[in-house]
């Protein structure tokens, strides 16, 4: 927790005019749609991803194109041990990527345990648009990607390989809560996801998730991010939700679907995220003390809300008013648990 605070402090100094406000809703909702849309993303790296997405939205592009663009930025421009080409591998030293994309009209696509293809979110979009299926995994997903013109390339970086070699000395699978991001070799961050939600100037919603999943996971493990309803759910009638944190908890609770359904029943995005976190705690009260789960949601008129199990979850908000805002989510537990 201390590391995260320090990191955020550093970021405020270095990252242009990024702001951090606790529990602040991101501007008047209706005007967001009228002024070209809004895009929100998990974590501090969401600022850069949002800006990539905003280039589409501000040019009148669709929410779907925007979230694909934002996720592609995270997969290749960002070098982070939890997303895309710089991701940490599984316990066998193999980097496997998970991604999903969903349009507010119900169309969706996903890939899981994809190896050696650098833009899983775009492969997920091709699954959505060019196959009768929703999800492809492993070798089949890779074959499909290559047939679609994606190039196979070794993605595991020397830094990630070194981190894995160091991890093997103790070989303990231990998800960490919000540790400081460390872009040096031997990095300590061991899980996070870019979850992105957008609404465009026509009021259409879309979302995307992309991640390398939990570092040092079992080979073949799939998290929530590529599972529609767990890590991502979008419905133009209501709103959209995405998640980050230990994916098994999201899967157990069909959590992103739950958040959207709670909004359908009349909750605000913030109330729905909070209620979903309460569900996670109720289901596994002891476990929830030592792992992180975070939800981010946006209603069909652009209102934004978030909630987490533990402090330290930040999310980025971008619209015509401001492209670099960073907000801190409220959480169930206080800093003592982290």
What six digits make up the tokens of 155? 């993605």
Tokens encoding 57: 């939205």
Is-catalytic flag, 338? no
Size of the site for ligand ASP (CB under 6 A): 13
User: By CB under 6 A, is residue 245 in contact with ligand ASP?
Assistant: yes
Question: Could you tell me if 255 and 262 are in contact, meaning their C-beta atoms sit under 8 angstroms apart?
Answer: no
Cβ neighbours for 30, distance < 8 A, ≥ 6 positions apart: 301, 302
Give the phi and the psi of residue 172 in degrees, each rounded to 5. -105, 130
The 205-234 site mask, x for binding ligand ASP (CB under 6 A), equals ------x-xx--------xxx---------
By CB under 6 A, tell whether 249 contacts ligand ASP: no
Residue range at the interface with ligand ASP (CB under 6 A); choices 142-150, 177-185, 238-246, 283-291: 238-246
Cα 108–Cα 283–Cα 211 angle in degrees, nearest 5: 35
Q: Segment contacting ligand ASP (CB under 6 A): 22-30, 122-130, 241-249, 256-264?
A: 241-249
Candidate segments 105-113, 144-152, 188-196, 260-268, binder of ligand ASP by CB under 6 A: 188-196
Rounded distance, CA 278 to CA 122, Å? 34
46 binds ligand ASP (CB under 6 A): no
Shortest spacing between CB 203 and ligand ASP, in angstroms: 28
Smallest separation, CB 223 to ligand ASP (Å): 2
Identify residues 107-136 at the interface with ligand ASP (CB under 6 A).
none
- Residue 17 CB burial class (10 angstroms; 0-12, 13-18, ≥19): exposed
Q: Closer to ligand ASP at the Cβ: 12 or 251?
A: 251
Q: Please say whether the beta carbons of 133 and 144 come within 8 A.
A: no
Quote the CA–CA distance of 222 and 146 in Å, as a whole number.
Answer: 21
Smallest gap from Cβ 18 to ligand ASP, in A, equals 21
Which residue's entry shows tokens 């949002």?
50
Site track for ligand ASP across 59-98, x = CB under 6 A: ----------------------------------------
Residue 211 beta carbon to ligand ASP: minimum distance, rounded to whole angstroms: 5
Please, what is the minimum distance in Å from the beta carbon of residue 222 to ligand ASP? 8
Number of CB atoms found within 10 A of residue 24's CB: 13
Q: By CB under 6 A, what part of segment 160-179 binds ligand ASP?
A: none
Q: Residue 214 or 304: which CB sits closer to ligand ASP? A: 214
Compute how many other C-beta atoms are within 10 angstroms of the C-beta atom of residue 111: 31
8 Å CB contact between 82 and 215: yes
- Phi first, then psi, for residue 292 (nearest 5°) are -105, 140
CB 152 within 8 Å of CB 116 = yes
Interaction of residue 247 with ligand ASP, rule CB under 6 A: yes
Q: Could you say whether residue 244 binds ligand ASP (CB under 6 A)? A: yes
Annotated catalytic residue, options 82, 193, 210, 338: 193
Q: Examine residue 191 and tell whether it contacts ligand ASP (CB under 6 A).
A: yes
CA 72 to CA 49: how far, in whole Å? 8
Positions marked active-site: 193
Q: Which residues bind ligand ASP (CB under 6 A)?
A: 191-193, 211, 213-214, 223-225, 244-247
């Amino acid at each position: 927790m201390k590391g995260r605070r320090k990191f955020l402090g550093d970021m405020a100094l270095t990252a242009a005019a990024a702001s951090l406000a606790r529990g602040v809703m991101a501007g008047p909702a209706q005007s967001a749609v009228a002024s070209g849309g809004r895009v929100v993303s998990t974590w501090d790296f969401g600022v850069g991803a949002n800006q990539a997405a905003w280039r589409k939205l501000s040019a009148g592009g669709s929410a779907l194109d925007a979230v694909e663009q934002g996720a592609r930025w995270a997969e290749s421009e960002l070098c982070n041990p939890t997303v895309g080409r710089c991701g940490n591998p599984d316990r066998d030293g193999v980097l496997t990527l998970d991604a999903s994309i969903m349009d507010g009209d119900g169309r969706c696509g996903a890939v899981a345990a994809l190896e050696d293809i650098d833009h899983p979110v775009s492969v997920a979009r091709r699954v959505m648009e060019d196959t009768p299926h929703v999800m492809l995994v492993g070798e089949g997903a890779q074959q499909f990607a290559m047939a679609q013109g994606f190039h196979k390339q070794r993605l595991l970086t020397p830094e990630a390989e070194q981190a894995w070699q160091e991890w093997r000395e103790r070989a303990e699978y231990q998800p960490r809560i919000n540790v400081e991001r460390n872009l040096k070799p031997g990095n300590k961050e061991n899980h996070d996801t870019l979850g992105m939600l957008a609404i465009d100037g026509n009021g259409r919603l879309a979302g995307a998730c992309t991640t390398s999943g939990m570092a040092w996971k079992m080979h073949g493990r799939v998290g929530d991010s590529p599972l529609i309803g767990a890590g991502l759910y979008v419905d133009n009638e209501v709103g959209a939700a995405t998640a980050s944190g230990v994916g098994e908890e999201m899967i157990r609770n069909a959590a992103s679907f739950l958040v959207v359904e709670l909004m359908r029943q009349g909750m605000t995005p913030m109330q729905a995220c909070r209620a979903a976190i309460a569900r996670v705690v109720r289901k596994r009260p002891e476990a929830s003390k030592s792992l992180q789960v975070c939800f981010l949601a946006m209603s069909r008129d652009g209102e934004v809300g978030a909630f987490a199990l533990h402090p330290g979850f930040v999310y980025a908000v971008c619209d015509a008013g401001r492209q670099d805002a960073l907000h801190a989510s409220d959480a169930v537990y206080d800093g003592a648990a982290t």
